[in-house]
Chains A and B, each alone.
Chain A
Amino acid sequence: MISGNLEKRHKIARAFRVLCATVTWASIAVLAVLLAHVSFEGFRWLDLGFLTSFPSRFPEQAGIKSALMGTLWLISFTALFSVPVGVAAAIYLEEYAEDSRVSRFIEVNIANLAGVPSIVYGILGLVIFVRFFALGRSVVAGSLTMSLLILPVIIITAREAIRAVPGSIRQAAFALGTTRWQVVRAHVLPSALPGIMTGVILALSRAIGETAPLVMIGALTYVAFVPEGPMDAFTALPIQIFNWASRPQQEFHQLAAAAIVVLLTVMLLMNAIAVIIRHRTERTR
């Protein structure tokens, strides 16, 4: 029998296992420390006044009202543009596309778009929406840019959700003498809805934190008002964070930390909603 120095090999195996576990938990700990640091720095400044004041040269008077409202405007319009288009594209690719060469091309294209750096989308938005369509540095221009950025994510997740709807349901519906759209609307979409919603929420929560595209289209201006319409100029939370963080004074860094706490809270809430939706549908299935 080959003895193979088993004792030593077991020791290595044990050490490797411990190493992998340690490294994992250590990285999670580092992130926990960073999050604790930002909460600690920011909490001092977090109060109602912070949420309801406009930005200011004086740290103690500064707040994120315009940024928070701007983010709300931005995300609402982004959802308005990107969700219908993204879901429609996913339906086309999953349910309608017959020529597999065309759909394969679109598919590869979408996968590659998902990897384009967000700053490139910013340049696209600047040239196309701000300048060419003369939308200016408005909520609409920002939302359209953001929509292009998150469309690949929405399409990819919506396709997965649609693909998970069993084919037997479609067959049953078709066998009753119904058209494709009737089948999609009555059976495929309702069944896929929770999955689509989860993907949409996650994509939108990504959009909430995106900064570079907004910097590119010029949302980084001093905005001390709340947008009242889609054509108004705006600022957004991540922009405000970037603005404060890039100033040398310690107080502004703490303001940035406070704004980060707000931003992360919003994102966490959205993620929680997505998790709950996913959980609920898994249980009912």
Chain B
Amino acid sequence: MNTDVMPEEVHDAMTFEKPILEAENVTIRYVDQPAVRDVSLSIAANKITAIIGPSGCGKSTLLRAFNRMNDFIPEANMSGHILYLGEDLYSKNTDPVEVRRRIGMVFQKPNPFPKSISRNVSWGPSINGYAGESSERVEKSLRKAALWDEVKDRLNDSATGLSGGQQQRLCIARALAMEPEIILMDEPCSALDPVSTSRIEDLMLELKEHYTIVIVTHNMQQAARVSDYTAFLENGNLIEYGETDQVFTRPAQKRTEEYVTGRFG
């Protein structure tokens, strides 16, 4: 396989005092083909961690492992451990539904429910037995997602009538309404125009005060702009992981340098 990349010299482990997520020797295979190979990394709380790499490098697969969304892909098969505040996400006693309540996700393409704007936000809490005033929570979540002013007069309109950028912010509001601790974002801006993209990037910077964000992106400028830490994945291997600033300006690995300077990928 990748003989030019030796895992031990690659992994200058980032250690955090209280990592919110820890992947330990995670390998994920589709049938036989490994998409993620023996990856170990820790995610810091209340920071934005970007996972970058060329398409097909396994970054989305790794991200989806963090809230067990790969459970829905029968061919996907994982070994290793992922710890959430020290608890194994994949232990026999773990309830994947509970995992996803705490670790929310925003997808590549905006995927609002074909329901009203307010129902999109309130459905998650209501199905999970949230007893409080739902309109209050809708407003709070929409405000946090910087969408409130644009939709406050049409909360009962169908969400499918919103623009792409608004839909994606609605999806963020929908995830926030569950009050998760972590929000996983799988290339959240790849289907959006530059203006919408920059709004969402601003939003992420605001949100990190209260939430931990892990974002997968193939847009290196985006990773450089928003993230505190950056992990570079190639061909399923974790090549480099460090502070964003360092990864982009003084990468330790040659492969990383080639990638961030745009020589390939």
Direct A–B contact present (CB less than 8 angstroms): yes
- Residues from chain A with Cβ under 8 Å of B124 in the complex: 176-178
* A52 interface hit (Cβ, 8 Å): no
Q: With CB as the reference atom, state the residue of chain A lying closest to B106.
A: A175
What's the tally of chain A residues with a CB closer than 8 Å to chain B?
Answer: 19
* Cβ of B137 under 8 Å from chain A: no
Cβ contacts under 8 Å, A178 to chain B: 97, 100, 124, 127-128
Pair A187/B107 contact, Cβ less than 8 Å: no
The reply to whether B107 and A177 form a contact with Cβ atoms under 8 Å apart is no
Which of A174, A177, A179, A191: most chain B CB closer than 10 A?
Answer: A177
Alpha-carbon separation in the docked complex, A177 to B67 (Å): 9
Contact of A175 with B104 in the complex, beta carbons under 8 Å:
yes
The answer to whether B111 and A176 touch across the interface, beta carbons within 8 angstroms, is no
Interface residues on B, range: 20 to 34
Contact partner of A176 (CB less than 8 A), chosen from B74, B112, B114, B175, is B175
Contact yes or no, B109 A168, CB < 8 A: yes
Q: How far is the CB of A121 from chain B (nearest CB, A)?
A: 35
Is A169 within 8 A of B114, CB to CB? yes
- From A173, A174, A175, name the one whose CB has the most chain B CB atoms within 10 angstroms: A175
Q: Are B123 and A175 in contact (CB under 8 A)?
A: no
A-B contact count (CB 8 A): 64
Contact with B along A67-106 (1 / 0, CB 8 A): 0000000000000000000000000000000101000000
Q: Which residues of A contact B169 (CB under 8 A)?
A: none
> Within 8 Å of chain A (Cβ to Cβ): is B178?
yes
Assess the A177–B98 pair: CB atoms within 8 A.
Answer: yes
Q: Does A3 contact B (CB under 8 A)?
A: no
A99 to chain B, nearest CB (A): 10
Q: CB distance B171 to A176 under 8 Å?
A: no
A177 touches which one: B99, B109, B113, B114 (CB < 8 A)?
B99
Which residues in window 68-112 of B have CB below 8 A to A? 69, 72, 74, 97-102, 104-105, 107, 109, 111-112
Bound complex: CA A172 to CA B107 (Å)? 8
Does the CB pair A176–B101 fall under 8 Å?
yes
Q: In the complex the two chains form, what is the Cα distance from A169 to B74 in whole Å?
A: 18
Known: A171-B69, A182-B127, A186-B123. A176 touches B174 (CB 8 A): yes
Which residues of B lie under 8 Å from residue A179 when comparing CB positions?
97
Closest to A173 in B: B113
Contact among A98, A100, A175 for B67, CB-based, below 8 A: A175
Chain A contacts for B178, CB-based, 8 A: 176-177
Question: Are A172 and B111 closer than 8 Å at their CB atoms?
Answer: yes
A239–B98 Cα gap in the complex (Å)?
Answer: 57
CB-CB < 8 A to B113: which residues of A? Answer: 169, 172-173, 187
Kindly list chain B residues whose C-beta atoms are within 8 Å of the C-beta of A191.
114
Q: Say whether, besides A168-B107, A182-B127, A175 and B74 are in contact (CB < 8 Å).
A: no
Whether A177 contacts B111 in the complex (CB less than 8 A), given A182-B127, A186-B127, comes out as: no
Closest B residue to A187 using CB positions: B113
> Which of A100, A172, A178 has its CB near the most chain B CB atoms (within 10 A)?
A172
Bound CA–CA A242/B6 (angstroms): 82
Chain A residue at minimum C-beta to C-beta distance from B74: A98
Please, which residues of chain A bring their CB within 8 A of the CB of B67? 175
Q: List residues of chain A with CB within 8 A of the CB of B105.
A: 171, 175
B72→A168 contact, CB < 8 A = no
- Tell me, in angstroms, the Cα distance from A187 to B120 when the chains sit together: 11
A104 to chain B, nearest CB (A): 13
A47 to B97 CA separation, bound complex (whole angstroms): 62
Chain A minimum-CB-distance residue to B184 = A175
A166 proximity list for chain B (CB < 8 A): 111
Tell me the nearest residue of chain A to B120, going by C-beta.
A172
Partner-B contacts on A (CB < 8 A): 98, 100, 166, 168-179, 182, 186-187, 191
**21 A-B Cβ contacts within 8 A?**
A98-B74, A169-B114, A171-B72, A171-B105, A171-B111, A172-B174, A174-B69, A175-B69, A175-B175, A176-B100, A176-B124, A176-B175, A176-B178, A177-B98, A177-B99, A177-B104, A177-B124, A178-B100, A182-B127, A186-B127, A191-B114
Q: Which 10 A-B pairs have the closest CB atoms?
A: A177-B101, A176-B124, A168-B111, A175-B105, A177-B100, A172-B111, A182-B127, A178-B127, A177-B97, A179-B97
